[in-house]
Structure formats: structure tokens, C-alpha cells
Amino acid sequence: MSTPTSSTQRSASLSTELADDVLVVTIDQPGSAVNTLSPALAGEFESVFIRVDEDPLINGVVLISGKPDGFIAGADIDQFPQLKSADKAERISKMGQDLLNRLQKLRAPVVVAIHGACLGGGLELSLACRYRVATDHPKTTFALPEVQLGLIPGMGGTQRLPRQVGLQAALDMILTGRNVRGKKALQIGLVNELVHPSILCEIAIDRARSLTSRDKQQASHLVRTSVPRGPVSALLESNSLGRGVVFKKARESVLEKTHGHFPAPLAALEAVQAGYAHGMTQGLATEARLFGEMAMTDVSRQLVFLFFASNSLKKDPGVPAPAPEAQKVLTLGVLGAGFMGAGIASIAIQQGTSTRLKDTDTARLAKGFSSIRNVLQERVVRKQITKRQLDDVMTLVGGTTNYSGFASADLVIEAVFEDLGLKHQVLAEVEPRMDTAAVYASNTSTIPIGRIAEVAKHPERVLGMHFFSPVHKMPLLEVIVTPKTAPEATVTAVAYGKRLGKTVIVVNDGPGFYTTRTLSAYMNEAGRMLEEGASIEVIDKALVEFGFPVGPITLLDEVGIDVGGKVQQVLSEAFGARMAASDAMRLVVLAGRTGRKGGKGFYLYDEDGSKGNVDQTIYEMIGGQRREFPPDEIVQRCVLALVNEAARCLEEGILRSARDGDLGAVFGIGFPPFLGGPFRYIDSVGVARVVEQLEELNVRFPPRFAPADILVEMAGQRRTFY
Ligand code: NAI
């Protein structure tokens, strides 16, 4: 039997300290910014559990993290690629479940003290504790993000969460991986109490003592047994018939959203359902079995790949070693207060960057300010920030029509109309006013940065920062460098992009860079099929069913048909017949339709901008007869056009790596994440098979589908991208 002591005892990640009769267990994984759960940590927990069960002087336990801003970020994902069989993955899940069952049954009650992200296995561990105290800090968030990796919670989450917060609230978290903040967590009964971070440990110790107190009444006050739910929810969830309705609706909603491409949410539903139908033991067994099965799916492998790839990109400064130090961006200048300029300013000020916005007149500036306020207002409505924080953040942005204040900018981002002459004019105007160390970035979506930089006195400080719309939602930033761009400028743009919360890929300069170029090849093919007689809805539906978030023609309406027309012009000048616009597209551009923003595109739009049916007059405009078009052909032609263009970008050195190409396509242009990206897709179909398909198509549509040299070469050598 171990002797209780007030001195700290430490194993690799756990240290324990006695506060009288309460054992405080601190989790602090050495050498890592966050705590993760691993078999090694499970072993350490087991030793603590033995001590607690054997030591009669320990009457309560508090679990707390030693990290300043994180509780437990989930299971250690590094172990996943090593899970080579469903059986092995199932065993790992069972081990985790056993550990938490053991925790739940400890002789002394366990109170968990949560500050920072409490995710996946971290939340499952918390659910096995008797009482949960969390901080009311914005960094404290709860989620079961397993489905985002193609998995399901595997440590009892599918069983304990519904029992704790009710079926509907639990499904909402399990099926989406959604983050829940402190207040909401308290509301749904996920935590028992919210406190200020400064008293977290103290309160947790106090609660552990109260729970052990012989005064049963006091203890029962502390632990809430039933979850506060509305009368309708309570009624629905209290009987198997009502729950049947909830499960059916959840299943339908999953299928509608995923088009059947993601098996994990359905597996999670099955595990939850098994728990309700046959009890906890059977529920846990089903959960472990399905966890094992999910870990072996291609979808999970691709999503785990994307997770690792994004992480490796986070550590990538954007230039080869040794990378120079990035310059801090304290003040930002933005040229153009339009759609993109205002979007960029809205995320910059939220990171505390003092921002100057320049446009040609005050009316346009005012419009820009109002767009920025709208972005922030959306966050107020979602209760992510307070009205007061909105007002504070708005004080960070100022407007000008004459470049005043631009001398102090560390970075200037240009987002004026897509017109080379205008881009030259503003660069020439602002450059002499800028600090000699400041970086100049264009947000152009197509024009080569080298062309824009032709008028610069210091082309070494010019690069592209290509944001996607809407800027505050889209995760990608494509940084474009020319042969003249200095590494100092690149690392500054990359570091600032990361600060803005973006996934940043660095690409070399060229018309359309990477994302616009591949997306255009894909959209252009859709235009060709429209010309050949395919209907608009049939094209869009085929690609949505394939896994894109919206179809290519809807996307063109969103981006703006006028914008698409300009892009096409630049790209067809650069790449000739391969990228030449279809007559159908040319006619719609000429007709002056702009898409959703103008209320009329390929589809009709309500006054509030919501999309209606296809505008049938489009067919008169483009001529020709509509005919049956096989969805398989639509998918094959659009997707192969895209992946072939991606391969060319790698071959030409526009892309630094296949990894960047995959992340860029998934996060920037909506390539289906469960396929991992264009290069992962080529690998899984087989390089030789892709070449064969391209050659077949190229016989019908020369020269658009001529396979990229790199593909032909790799097929000959039986090489793969990964
Ligand atoms: P926009 O038309 O909404 O805004 C352009 C703004 O530039 C207008 O407010 C205009 O008054 C202002 N402007 C014109 N001349 C100026 C000058 N001399 N000084 C300062 N401001 C001036 O256009 P949007 O959509 O914001 O596009 C801007 C740039 O971003 C373009 O290069 C476009 O290709 C690129 N881009 C657009 C995306 C989109 O989805 N709209 C996506 C990614 C890049």
C-alpha cells in the first residue's frame, strides 16, 4: 500500500499531489504542446487507479491538465496509421473503454477540472468522471471530432454522451464533430459547473470533497442526474418509438449531407442505437467493433492523411531551410474595400492587426466597413463574441481615399478589380509611400504576380496572397512567389496567413497559379458538356453526388460569371486550346449575366439571394438541344480535367509537392476530402489507369485530355505520388 504524501510524485505524463484527502492528478505530456491519450498514458493511469483503490486515505480525485490552455486534445493520432487490421483497432478501442470503465468505478469519486480544448478521448474521459467543472474561458471547448477523421468515438463516447446530455444533443455532437463552448456545455448538462480559470483547481478539490462527504444530501445536490431538456425532446427521447423517430431523422440528414460518402456518422448512429436497445455493455462492444471497421476504411485513411498533411504544413515556413525570421505584421494596409478587401480586413482586425483600408471614394469605404461589421455581427449572433468586443475590434480599422497611414504598414494587400492596368497603377502609387521593409501582396486570382510586379521598384518584396471567398470562412491561403520574391517576404506572408488561421500553401508563379488553374479546367469541362447538350442540373447533381460541395455551374454563379469570363481569358491566352472557353460560356458572359450577385445567372435568384430553379432562357441563349448525358461521363471528364491539370502544376514546379496540391484542392476548391485530394485520387485509381482514361478521352476531345508528361512517365515506371 502506498503512503499518502503531500510531495509531488511524477511518472512520464502524470504527476500526483495530495491536497489532504484529495489526490490531484495533473496530466502534462512532456515535450508536447497538448496532451493526447496513448497506450503509454493508459498504463500511467492504471498505476494511479491502483493507488487510489488501495489507499484508504484518498477520498477523492481531481484530474486536471498541466498545459496552460488545453485539457486533452484527443487520442494520439500518430498511432492510427499503425493500426493494420480492424481487430487491432477494435482491441485499442476496448483498452480505452476498459480504462474508462475502471475510472468510473474507482472507489473514490473523480472530479475533472477542464480548461482549454477537451476533445475526443479527452471528452470521453471527462464523461466517465463523476463531476465536471470547466472554465468559462473562450478557449474551453468540447467536441467529439472523430467523424472528421472518418472514425467514431471509441472510448465510450457513443454511450456516455447520450446518457449525459440526451439523445439529440449527443447526436448533434457525435455526427458532426461540432465544437461546444462552455456556456452551451453547461446548458445541455455536459458539464456541471463553470468557473473562472483562477479557481478551477480549488473548486474541483472542494467538489471532490463534497462528493465524498458522508452527507449524502449534499452530494446529491452536486451531481445532476437528469438532463435539462425541453418537453418535446424529453417526450421524444423517453420511449423507443420517439427515439426511433430521432434515429430515422438523423440517418436521413446524414445521408442528405454526405451523399453516402462518409460511413462513420452512420456507424456512430448504429453504436448509439445499440446502447439504447441492448444496454451499455452491448453498446460498448458495438462501438469498439465499428471503431475497428471505420479505422480500416479508405475514407478514414484519406482524412487522417489530410490531418497529418495540414499539421506538417503548419510547421512549414514556406521556404527551404534555413528560413529567415518572419517580420511581425502589426499594421496592415488593404487596397480596395470591395468583397475581398473587406473580407481580409475583417479577419485581420480580429487578430488584433491595426488595418487601413483604401478605396477610391468614401461611399465604397462605407460599404466596406458595413461588410466588415456584418462578418463580426454574425459572430455576435452566434455568441462567439460580445457586442462590446465587436465595437472594440471595429476601432482597429480605419479608412482612407489617399493612402494616408500606409507608411506604417508592414504588409499591404491589394484587392482592387481584376485588371492588370489598375493593379499596376495602385502598386506604382503605393510603393514609394511604403516602408522599405514592408511586403506587397496582390490578391489577384489569375494574373501572374510577375506581370503585376513589372512596375515595382522592389519586386523582391512583391508576392501573391490569394484568399478565397468568403474570406472569413474559407480555410486556404495560396501564397504565390516569383523568382524575384525574397525569402523574407515569403516567410512573412506565410506566417501572417497562419496567424489569420489559414492553411497556407506556397506555389510558384504562373497564370491561375494552382487553384484557379485546376478549378478552371474542371469548370471549363462542365461548360463543354453544357454545349454538347447536358442540362445544368444534371451536371451540378453529378458532381455533388461525386462529393463536391456544390456543382460547377452553381459555383460559377457564386464566383461571378463575369469573374469566370476574365479568368478564362487569361488562362486561354496562356494555355491555348486546352483552356479555351466553350461557346456556351462565352455567350453567357457576353449577355452580361453575373450570377448570384446580379440576381441572374444560370439559375434564378430571389431578392435575398437564395437560389431558385435553372433559368430556362439560358438554353435559348446557348442554343442546341438538351439530351440525356450519363452522370458517369460528366464526373469522369470534369474530375480528370482537374487532376490532369494538377499533375501539370506539379510537373512545371508551380506546386512544391503533391501534399500541397492535395491540401490546396481540398481546402481551396472543394475537392472531396474523402478522396484525399487530386494526387491521392490518382494514386488510388492507379496512375496507369488514369493515363489510360485520359488517352481515351483525348481521342474524343483532342488536345484537352492529353495526359501530363509526369503521369505518363510515372505510369511507365509504376511510381505513385505517395
Ligand atoms: P470588388 O469589385 O468587390 O472590389 C474591388 C474594389 O476595388 C472596389 O471597392 C473598388 O472601388 C476598389 N478599387 C478600384 N480602384 C481602386 C483604387 N485605385 N484604389 C483602391 N481601391 C480601388 O472585387 P473583389 O471581388 O473584391 O475582387 C478583388 C480582387 O480579388 C480581384 O483581383 C479578384 O480577382 C480577387 N479575388 C476575388 C475573389 C472573389 O471570389 N470575388 C476570390 C479571390 C480573389
Other beta carbons within 10 angstroms of residue 321's beta carbon come to 5
Compute the distance from residue 454 Cα to the ligand 1 centre, in Å: 20
Other beta carbons within 10 angstroms of residue 541's beta carbon come to 14
Query: Residue 506: which of 484, 470, 482 has the closest Cα?
Result: 482
521 contacts 642 by C-beta, under 8 angstroms: yes
Q: Express each pLDDT in 280-306 by its tens digit.
A: 999 999 999 999 999 999 999 999 999
The pLDDT of 584-610, averaged and rounded, is 92
Q: How far is CA 638 from CA 304, 305, 527, 583, in A?
A: 26, 24, 10, 17
Q: How far apart are CA 426 and CA 420, in angstroms?
A: 10
| Binding pocket residue ranges, ligand 1, CB within 6 Å | 335-341, 358-360, 364, 415-418, 422, 426, 443-445, 467-469, 559, 563
The dihedrals phi and psi of 441, each to the nearest 5 degrees, come to -125, 140
Active site residues: 478
The helix (run of H) or strand (run of E) holding residue 135 is strand 131-135
Query: And the C-alpha cell for 384?
Result: 462567439
Q: Express each pLDDT in 654-708 by its tens digit.
A: 999 999 999 999 999 999 999 999 999 999 999 999 999 999 999 999 999 999 9
Q: How far apart are CA 358 and CA 362, in angstroms?
A: 9
87 contacts 134 by C-beta, under 8 angstroms: no
Other beta carbons within 10 angstroms of residue 88's beta carbon come to 14
**3-class DSSP state for residue 97?**
helix
The pLDDT of 550-566, averaged and rounded, is 94
Identity of residue 127: L
Query: And the C-alpha cell for 315?
Result: 510547421
The helix (run of H) or strand (run of E) holding residue 480 is strand 476-481
Nearest atom (ligand 1) to Cα of 335: 20
Q: Express each pLDDT in 197-237 by its tens digit.
A: 999 999 999 999 999 875 445 555 565 545 556 666 777 77
Which residue has the CA at smallest separation from atom 31 of ligand 1? 418
The pLDDT of 594-619, averaged and rounded, is 93
Query: And the C-alpha cell for 98?
Result: 476498459
Compute the distance from residue 559 Cα to the ligand 1 centre, in Å: 13
The pLDDT of 514-536, averaged and rounded, is 96
503 contacts 476 by C-beta, under 8 angstroms: yes
Query: Residue 50: which of 107, 9, 101, 90 has the closest Cα?
Result: 107
Compute the distance from residue 459 Cα to the ligand 1 centre, in Å: 22
Q: Express each pLDDT in 394-438 by its tens digit.
A: 999 999 999 999 999 999 999 999 999 999 999 999 999 999 999
Q: Express each pLDDT in 442-486 by its tens digit.
A: 999 999 999 999 999 999 999 999 999 999 999 999 999 999 999
Compute the distance from residue 272 Cα to the ligand 1 centre, in Å: 49
Nearest atom (ligand 1) to Cα of 469: 40
Q: Express each pLDDT in 238-280 by its tens digit.
A: 788 889 999 999 999 999 999 999 999 999 999 999 999 999 9
259 contacts 229 by C-beta, under 8 angstroms: no
Helix-helix angle 561-575:515-531, to 10 degrees: 100
Nearest atom (ligand 1) to Cα of 425: 18
| Residue 561 pLDDT grade (very low, low, confident, very high; cuts 50, 70, 90) | very high
Helix-helix angle 39-54:86-104, to 10 degrees: 30
Q: How far apart are CA 516 and CA 530, in angstroms?
A: 21
The pLDDT of 156-177, averaged and rounded, is 96
652 contacts 644 by C-beta, under 8 angstroms: no
Compute the distance from residue 340 Cα to the ligand 1 centre, in Å: 6
Cis peptide before 265 (omega within 30 of 0): no
The helix (run of H) or strand (run of E) holding residue 186 is helix 182-188
CA 639, 527, 473, 350 torsion-angle sign? positive
Query: Residue 170: which of 31, 156, 446, 217 has the closest Cα?
Result: 156
Q: How far is CA 304 from CA 588, 608, 636, 655, 683, in A?
A: 41, 39, 26, 22, 16
Which residue has the CA at smallest separation from atom 12 of ligand 1? 336
The dihedrals phi and psi of 498, each to the nearest 5 degrees, come to -65, -40
Q: How far apart are CA 345 and CA 360, in angstroms?
A: 17
Cis peptide before 263 (omega within 30 of 0): no
Q: What is the pLDDT of residue 222?
A: 60
Q: What is the pLDDT of residue 383?
A: 84
Query: Residue 89: which of 98, 80, 97 has the closest Cα?
Result: 80
| Residue 3 pLDDT grade (very low, low, confident, very high; cuts 50, 70, 90) | very low
Query: Residue 640: which of 705, 578, 712 has the closest Cα?
Result: 705
Q: How far apart are CA 716 and CA 719, in angstroms?
A: 8
Nearest atom (ligand 1) to Cα of 567: 34
pTM of the prediction? Answer: 0.90
The pLDDT of 119-124, averaged and rounded, is 97
Query: Residue 477: which of 492, 491, 467 has the closest Cα?
Result: 467
Q: What is the pLDDT of residue 609?
A: 87
Nearest atom (ligand 1) to Cα of 418: 32
Compute the distance from residue 44 Cα to the ligand 1 centre, in Å: 57
- Residue to mutate, 346, 358, 359, ligand 1, most ligand atoms under 8 Å from C-beta: 359
| Residue 1 pLDDT grade (very low, low, confident, very high; cuts 50, 70, 90) | very low
Q: Express each pLDDT in 8-27 by its tens digit.
A: 666 689 999 999 999 999 99
Instruction: Evaluate if residue 389 carries a pLDDT over 90.
Output: yes
Q: How far apart are CA 179 and CA 111, in angstroms?
A: 22
Query: And the C-alpha cell for 14?
Result: 502524470
Q: How confident is the prediction for the chain on average, in pLDDT?
A: 94
- Residue to mutate, 334, 335, 339, ligand 1, most ligand atoms under 8 Å from C-beta: 339
Q: What is the pLDDT of residue 425?
A: 98
Identity of residue 567: V
